[in-house]
Copies of this chain bind each other. A is one copy, B any other.
Amino acid sequence: MQFVIQHTDRSCKARAAMLFTEHGTVETPIFMPVGTLGTVKTVSPRELQEVGARMILANTYHLYLKPGLTVLQHFGGLHRFNGWSGPILTDSGGFQVYSLDELKEIREDGVEFRSHWDGSRHFFTPEKVVDIQRIIGSDILMVLDQCIANPSDYASARQAHELTLRWAERSRERFLQTEPVYGYQQFQFGIVQGGVYADLRRESVHRLVAIGFEGYAIGGLAVGENPETRNEMTDLCTHILPEERPRYLMGVGKPNDVLDAIERGVDMFDCVIPTRNARNGTVFTPDGKLVIRNARYKMDNRPIQSDCNCFTCRHFSRAYIRHMFSVNEVLGLRLATIHNLAFYMKLVQQARKAVLEDRFGAFKSAFLERYVKNGSRGE
C-alpha cells in the first residue's frame, strides 16, 4: 500500500499524508463515515461526495447477513452495489464480538454469531472473514479481532489480546494466500488490542508489526475507558508503530477525541457519532452542539452554522430542520446528517492544513476553546 507522509507537525506527532487505493487517493487525517449496511444512513453517495467524504466504512458481519455474499459477488462487489465509487474499509465483525452481547460465542477457532435478523447461526473464522472481505471487495480489510470492554481485568485483556494475535497470524496468512476477486488491489490492517494495559499494547504492536500489515488499527478503545487512558494508550501505540504505515483509531470519536488522536499521530478515524447524533436531532457547530429539535429553535432563521457551506446550511434554517424533527419527517434526519458529516470532514481537513503549516497545536487549542466555551464541554 502506498502511503506517503507529506509532513509531520514540528511540535507533535500529528501528520499529513496521502493514502493511495485503486478507488482513489485519500488525504489524511481522514474521517470515514460509517455505512454499516452499505449505505451511510439517510444519505446518498452524491451527498457523501458533496460533504467531502472520501472513504467510507462498511461492516463485514452485517453485509454477510444482508444482502449476503451471493448478491455482492453477483454485483462485482460493494462499490458496484451501493454506488459509492471511492475507497471502502470494512470492519471485520470484531466490534460485533464486543457489541452483540447475547448473540455470540467465542472459541479458539473463531466466533459464532446468531443473526439479529432471524436467529440463524454463523461461524466466523479469521480466514472466513478474509474471504468475505475479498467478496465484498473493500479496499482495506480488517482482521478479525476480539474487542473487549474497558476496563477489563488483566487476565481477560491478556486472553483477548493473545487470541487477537493468533487470529491476526491466521488472517494474514489467508490474505497472502488469496487474490482479490475483482482485479483491484486490497490491503489488510492488523488491530492492536490489549485493553488499558501498556505492556499488552506494546506487545500487541510488536507482534503485529512482526507479522506485517499494510496498516495498523488501534482497537479496543472508546469502549468504556476515560479520555486520559485512551490518549495514553494511543500515544504508546503510535510511538512504536512504524512511521511509514497508516494508523487507524477505530470507533473514535467526538471532535475533541479526534483532535487528541491526530495530535498523537493517528491518520484515520471512523465513528457513528456524527451520523447517529444527527438522527437524534443533535448537530455540531464550532461553538458546540445544538439539540436542533429543541423548541428554542422554533423561530430561528439562521442556518445550523453560519459559515458552513454544506447543502443543509445553504438551504435550510434551524427552524425548518426543527420542524422536520417535530413532525417526524425523515428529511430532517438527512439534513442533520449532511451537516454533521460536513462538520467532521471540515474538522479533519482543517487539522490537516494546520499540520502542513506546523500549527496543529494552535489550531487544536483554538478549536477546543471555542467548541467548549458555550457549554458543550467537548461532549
Contact = CB atoms under 8 A, between A and B. Distances in A.
Interface string A290-328: 000000001101000000000100011101100110110
A71 B39 contact: no
A74 interface: yes
B74 A37 contact: no
A66 B329 CA distance: 12
Contacts of A330: 41-42, 330, 333-334
A71 B41 contact: no
A52 B44 CA distance: 20
The number of chain A residues touching the other chain, given as a range, is 35 or more
A43 interface: yes
A323 B67 contact: yes
A106 interface: no
Most buried by B among A42, A43, A311, A331: A331
A83 interface: yes
**Chain multiplicity (copies):** 2
A81 interface: yes
A316 B83 contact: yes
Nearest to A299: B74
Contacts of A326: 66-67
Interface string A115-144: 000000000000000000000000000000
A39, A75, A326, A335: most-surrounded residue (chain B CB, <10 A): A39
Given A66-B323, A67-B323, A333-B330, A75 B37 contact: no
A38 interface: yes
B37 A71 contact: no
A45 interface: yes
Interface string A9-43: 00000000000000000000000000001110111
Contacts of A43: 331
Contact of A317 (B39, B42, B81): B81
Contact of A323 (B38, B41, B323, B333): B38
Nearest to A74: B299
B298 A71 contact: yes
User: In the complex, which of the residues A311, A315, A320 has the most CB atoms of chain B within 10 Å of its own CB atom?
Assistant: A320
Contact of A327 (B37, B74, B75): B37
B71 A331 contact: no
A2 interface: no
A66 B333 contact: no
Contacts of A67: 298, 319, 323, 326
A4 B280 CA distance: 48
Nearest to A82: B320
A19 to B, nearest CB: 26
A323 B80 CA distance: 14
7 contacts: A41-B331, A42-B331, A44-B331, A46-B315, A71-B298, A71-B299, A83-B315
A-B pairs, top 6 by smallest CB distance, nearest first, are A67-B323, A37-B327, A83-B315, A330-B330, A39-B331, A39-B329
